[in-house]
Amino acid sequence: MTHIEVADHGSGPAVMLLHAFPCDHHMWDEQVDSIVAAGWRVLIPDLPGFGSSDLPTAAEPDLGAVVDELHAVSMGRGADRLVVVGLSVGGYLAMEWLRRYPEMLAGVGLFDTKATADAPEARANRVAMADAIDANPAGCADVLRERVLPVILGSSSHESRPDVVAQVDAWMRSADPMTIAWYQRAMADRPDSVQTLSSVDVPALVLWGEEDVMSPIAEQHIMLDVLRDARSASIPSAGHLSAIEQPEPVARELVDFLTRVQRAGISG
């Protein structure tokens, strides 16, 4: 099995937080203490290929292969019933988890993400980026900083949060080019998940930054319209990486959501 590094905090019912591309588990650092204080165990993996986790070597680029690895990690740590919260690609993975192992989930958080598959132009752009990185791995960070950095953060962060911009820039500079190309192809090939969400019968939280141009509000309403038991949260002055752009409001919304899941009965 691929080595997956996992930060494991607290005790109680389990929640797994899945970070965005191209971050690592530290994206969730500012939310951990609040969730632990609310009586939860928090599992935060470095997604395969990011941080200290290995990229799957035997699989073609496929988000399902990532979920299989995360499922094994969860079971190996005794968490056979949990809440999964994912931001951006982490949200894609949460939806893939719902497709593969729905019985395990007591709740799902979909943050700055979307359920629709890529349109042809967006898919072609992802594949073109992967091809460019494969052709020139040394230029990977430059590609990310040119094409992704301007849009992955909201205008408020670019204008007034230099520490956040610097952190995202550091993640981009340290990312493995092979990992970046692998995930671009995997995201390009992900299926539409709208039908999957229509069958979800556990509490859900759909959260997004008001300045998110990568997962716009119309995409959030698509998810909210089909989920049976969903609440929404719009985070002001945040873009696509709301958890690091506005960590305190995101932490509050997460704790409120987990409290609702706990009241509904996580063991049910």
Mean per-residue pLDDT for 84-112? 98
Provide the pLDDT for residue 57.
Answer: 78
More confident residue, 28 or 58: 28
Alpha-carbon span 251 to 35, nearest angstrom = 8
Phi, psi of 17 (to 5 degrees): -105, 125
Residue spans of the domains in the chain: they are 6-116+191-264
CB 45 within 8 A of CB 23: no
**Any residues with CB less than 8 A from the CB of 202 and at least 6 apart, and which?**
105, 106, 107, 108, 229, 261, 264
Provide the pLDDT for residue 186.
Answer: 97
| pLDDT single digits (tens) 34-89 | 999 999 999 999 999 999 999 987 678 999 999 999 999 999 999 999 999 999 99
3-state secondary structure of 230: strand
**Any residues with CB less than 8 A from the CB of 160 and at least 6 apart, and which?**
none
Residue 263 above 60 pLDDT? yes
CB 200 within 8 A of CB 264: no
| pLDDT single digits (tens) 210-243 | 999 999 999 999 999 999 999 999 999 999 999 9
Helix then strand then coil, % of the chain, to nearest 5: 55, 15, 35
Q: Which residue has the tokens 């967006």?
A: 122
| Two tokens, residue 260 | 């609702």
Provide the pLDDT for residue 264.
Answer: 84
pTM tops 0.95: yes
Phi, psi of 87 (to 5 degrees): -110, 130
Provide the pLDDT for residue 254.
Answer: 98
Residue 196 above 60 pLDDT? yes
Class (C level, CATH) for 6-116+191-264:
alpha beta
